Amino acid sequence: MRAFICGLAGPKLSDEERQFLRDQLPWGVILFARNLENADQIRALTSDIRAALDREPAPILIDQEGGRVQRICPPVCRAYPAARTYGNLYRRDPVLGVEAARLGAKLVGIDLADLGITVNCMPVLDIPTEGSDAAIGDRAYGNDADTVLTLGGAAADGLMAAGIVPVMKHMPGHGRAEVDSHKKLPIIETALETLVATDFMPFRLGARRIPAGMTAHVVLTAVDDEWPATLSDKVINGIIRGRFGFDGLLMTDDISMGALKGPVSARADKAIRAGCDLVLHCSGDADEMTAVAAAVPELEGDALRRAEAAFEATSQSPAHDRKSLHARFDDILAQVEAV
């Protein structure tokens, strides 16, 4: 088993992809809209992935946050609100807001588990600031650490109650980025004491309860003015592992994003050397996948321990009463809309 996660080109495993998974044994596979058509097709695809990896549980990942980042849409899965909806409710009624965030995430998790998906890349614990790029926007629960941590923690609990591994993102904070890291590298020049008191806070406290995290492709000049967080030993070991005390599974954001430069193999190697446990590569491009696989090591030692612990943190709960859970969730949403 190698220390990377790969994407796939389409809704079915090609013969070449099946052989790649068998030969290279990535830790996991991530799915996007291009891979998803209907419930039966998704179940068949996840079954094929498990068979190719020959592993249970097979880490099959997705970004199913709700709002504008929801890979599986109606009619396969209901449309869930963006995180900011829960934050707006929390400001008016903290108890109801926390219930809504936990229940919404639990319902998302139940949907995913039914389709054979085991890891969801949420909650977003970033705190957007005035003037920041819209890439985070309403994906964040709010603009203060208390709201973001409280609701993000509730959402993580909801996913784990449904047997799904949550992945908090984007460590150690993407909220101040003034450009979209999918296209360009954000440079954040905020003072360290300000970052510690604000942006870092949700991740520092989330490190105690959320078993996996994803890095941010941002430069924090107060910590490392040369390398983005994903590739920075100073950020990963000094801040995420050190200051936050995070001993969970740490994966990169998509290594092929425009924020990073150079061949994907060099990016992958640098990320592992900086302290990431896993390299995430999403495009499904066969040549790039092969290059990433060759650049990363076997998953072993602390990285393997963290990967195993991430699944141990989830609940193997009995069957859920979906009807009553959806009814309660609809009742809460109706209260939001009535205000």
| Percentage of the chain exceeding pLDDT 90 | 89
Q: What is the pLDDT of residue 334?
A: 85
DSSP secondary structure of 33-49: GGG---HHHHHHHHHHH
Chain-centre distance for alpha carbon 8: 17
Spatial distance between the Cα atoms of 98 and 295, rounded to a whole number of angstroms: 42
By annotation, the residues acting in catalysis are: 182, 253
pTM greater than 0.85: yes
Spatial distance between the Cα atoms of 290 and 58, rounded to a whole number of angstroms: 20
- Dihedral sign (CA 172, 208, 312, 323): negative
pLDDT digits (tens, 9 = 90+) for 36-62: 999 999 999 999 999 999 988 899 999
Spatial distance between the Cα atoms of 275 and 107, rounded to a whole number of angstroms: 33
Phi, psi of 315 (to 5 degrees): -95, 140
Show the domains of the chain with their CATH numbers: 2-338 (3.20.20.300)
The segments of the chain whose pLDDT lies below 70 read 317-318, 336-339
Q: How far is CA 264 from CA 5, 47, 200, 267, 297, in A?
A: 13, 29, 28, 5, 15
